[in-house]
Structure 1
């Protein structure tokens, strides 16, 4: 083991004079920068206390997170009712954990699970039932709102993207043309424009006595935007499936529905899984655009918290905390996608050897 490690270092980091010099220079740079960051973020940092302790410290003031975590995580939600969005996040994490388990990879389980979960989350956040105090969606905010926006985007957007991808490859000219117009139309418009249309323009075309919840309009708008980009990724996966798969299904006299759902689509999703994951991670970050139309997601809530003159100077620590939240979500999604890809490959290899 020791010799293999030495050989790897010699082969990859010290194989030539130039590479050795570059390795040493980068190691020195990492050491210098890392030591300063360690001193600022840990050694000289303040982890508890108030503004006085932070101003006296030479390092980071992580005490701002402990002081402002409630408005950061829950936004404008009423203080005494913030146990409800906290419980809402717990429901979300449990639902995600169950969804990621291979035992639950079936639509007969996933759709009811998320239907019930979103209904419970909606009741918890909005209230008005089971003795809960009503809270308008305009007062929702923080991380629960970000999770709701993200969940709604993926749950609505993924089926729509698959339908659009199949529609764009349809032999029916009308369906194919309609899919092309829809995809290219929404892909050519910035997300901010779609949000403005959903919030300000769409209500103008609704009947006077009809009103659609603002949050629902925003979720649908983001989901359709997400679906148009995801549809092109899935279409690329569909085009990568060998023609022989279609011919084999035709020989077996399988219907279009069975050919698509049982043979073609699973292979296409396997092929484009990395790109699909990339767009899902991007959808998580795109939820921050709701700052434009006045919703207090976790990033907007953080910006509002930083208006406090006592804590304004510690914005770096606060935004690092928010960045860590996004980083953890993105990293977990990417690692899970890699695990799924390896699991599928292992399953296919096992079938090939049997």
Structure 2
């Protein structure tokens, strides 16, 4: 397991949502310090070619403007075939509960006609695919200004919403957790827990490390009795699945004031946690990043970390909490690739880079691969139609 690529120059995004479709990764919306999130504008879409490690921006001009979601953060995205479904999230004015669909073959947005009772608008929830349904869990509700622990499912064939009535104790009210679907079960871990459901101060935040499981056959919740090295509780981390095992990366625990860049693996068959130690240079501690799997590689990009050069001063006492938070954090535009099962070819290429060996005698294909592994990004943007 090696960190093979680390490049700057991609989209600078926090609390974005990203999915894999084929050998490409699509990233939707997100937050960037200094941008205006009160003015309504169309959500941006970035796509990563995982062969060349190059980013480009998708042009929305072929879509009906009314079908394009507004730029937001704290939303979710799931891929079902070539279609990507965007749900929830907010800008600085409001949250949203409209379902949007992005077709990766035509790059067009649409508004699917759904039936059933649509969940309340929220952000910081989770979404995952189990069989042919998208399961939504928890998050912060806009209308009631409270956290929830409810489960909703959207049948992606019938496009019908349903409220999932569960049995046994549900996980504590939370947001910015992760939910992962494996073999008909939804595994929920981490997040900011608020026992009462009503948030008034940071003192109420808790960060438990229990792993919860919802069996979607009988809609029964349970707490998994795990063994091994359980990760420290956190929020705004990432979860991904590789060969039937769940991986947890990064995140933030406000009680400890700590950002993480550790990598943990959970084996559902053994119910065991393990701290894994990839070789190579990985990303710095961060939260609110995205992690997507393509084959044996995990692509991590974006997120935010404490600003290395930030120092409090007298003038900071006059700033509000949001401004202080923005100044203390640095948003990232980097891309890191973790190969969970590197081939001999990949290991040899890494050795060439490590030893700074002249690769001019190598086949052109290998020279091209070496070049893109070390060349920073320059996002390709659509030409502006000036008429």
**TM-score exceeds 0.5:** no
By percentage of residues, which structure has more helix? 1
Report the TM-score when normalising by structure 1: 0.27
Q: Say which structure is richer in strand.
A: 2
Q: Give the TM-score of the pair, scaled to structure 2.
A: 0.25
